[in-house]
Amino acid sequence: MRLKISHVTEYHYDEPSQFSLQRLRLTPPSAVGQNVLDWSLRVEGAKPEVEYDDQFGNHVNLVSLQGEQQVTRIVAEGEVETEDRNGVTGPHTGFCPLWLFLRDTPRTKPGRLIRELIRTVNGDNELALMHALMAAIHQAVDYKPGTSNTDTTAEQAMEKKSGVCQDHAHIFVSAARALQVPTRYVSGYLMMEGKAEQAATHAWGEAHIPGLGWVGFDPANDICPDARYVRVASGLCYRDAAPVSGMRIGTPGEKLSVMVKVEDQGQMQSQS
C-alpha cells in the first residue's frame, strides 16, 4: 500500500510561553515492511537544536521555542510504501541488548490482574502463546476513549477493563514480559477502514519470537500489523516512544489538539 499521512499537533497555552524544549519522535524509518517515499517535519516558530537516533533507534528532533507564544503547531506529513508481513519485522538490531526488553517500567510493571491474565492463556510455542495473549486482552479490555491517560499503567487499565490502544499495548507488553518474552512498545499510524481522520496515533506491541525475530501484535484490534500500519518509534513503554515530549517554562495551562489523517494513496488514485 502507499499511505499518505498527515499528523498535526497544536498546543494552545493559557498564557504566552516563554521557553519550551520539545523532543519529537515523528519520523518513521525505512525498514523491513515499510519504505518512506517522502517525509517532512516542521514546527512553526521553532529553532532546530539537534537531531539524532536514540538508544532504541528512534529518530529524534529536538527543537526549542522562545518568546511570547501562545500556540505551538507541529506538522509531520509524507508518504510511506508498506507491505503485509503478518507483523514480522525481522531480527533484533540496534544498541540495546535483547534482555533489556524484559525490563519493567512503572507503566508496565505487572500486578495481580496481569498475573491472573497470563494464567488464562496457553500455547504450544511462544508464537501461539502471544496470539492467545493478544486475543485475551482484546476480549478483557474494551476500547473506550476518555477512561485513561498517558500515565495510566497496564494494571490500572486491567482494573478498569477499558482504555485505548496505548493501554492495550501496555498490558500486552507487561504480560509478555511476565512470561519471559522480550517485548517492546511501538507507536505509529494505522489506516482505519472508512475513517481517514483520527484523533490520535496508534500503538501496539512487538514480541521477540525465536526463528522469526520481532513480531507485532495489536490487542486493540486483535490482529498482527499488516500493510495498513506504519511504525514510527519503539521502546520499553509509551515514555520512550511518545510522539511529542518535553518541558516548558511558563504558566501550566495548555490545551492539546491532535489531528491524524491516514489515506491509501493507491486507492485514492484508482478512484479519481
Distance of alpha carbon 30 from alpha carbon 21, whole angstroms? 27
- The answer as to whether 33 is a domain residue is yes
Express as a percent the part of the chain with pLDDT over 90.
77
Give 201-261 as a DSSP string.
-EEEEEEEETTTEEEEEBTTTTB---TTEEEEEEESSHHHH-SEEEEEES-S-EEEEEEEE
Assigned C-alpha cell, 18: 516563554
- The answer as to whether 270 is a domain residue is no
Give pLDDT, residue 151.
Answer: 93
- The answer as to whether 251 is a domain residue is yes
- The answer as to whether 272 is a domain residue is no
- The answer as to whether 172 is a domain residue is yes
Whole-Å CA distances, 84 to 31, 117, 135, 201, 266: 13, 30, 20, 20, 15
Say how many domains are in the chain.
Answer: 1
Distance of alpha carbon 58 from alpha carbon 234, whole angstroms? 7
* CATH number for the domain harbouring residue 36: 3.10.620.30
Amino acid at 134: M
Mean pLDDT of the chain: 92
β-strand pairing of 202-209 with 213-217: antiparallel
- The answer as to whether 269 is a domain residue is no
- Kind plus residue range of the DSSP H or E element containing 68: strand 59-82
The pLDDT tens digits for 148-191 are 999 999 999 999 999 999 999 999 999 999 999 999 999 999 99
Judge whether 176 and 146 are in contact, CB under 8 Å.
Answer: no
Judged on CB neighbours under 10 Å (0-12, 13-18, 19+), 99 is exposed
Q: Domain containing 103: what range? A: 1-262
Which comes out higher in pLDDT, residue 84 or 71?
84
Query: Cα 51–259–137 angle (5° rounding)?
Result: 90
- The answer as to whether 16 is a domain residue is yes
Please check the confidence at residue 205 and state whether its pLDDT lies above 60.
yes
- The answer as to whether 212 is a domain residue is yes
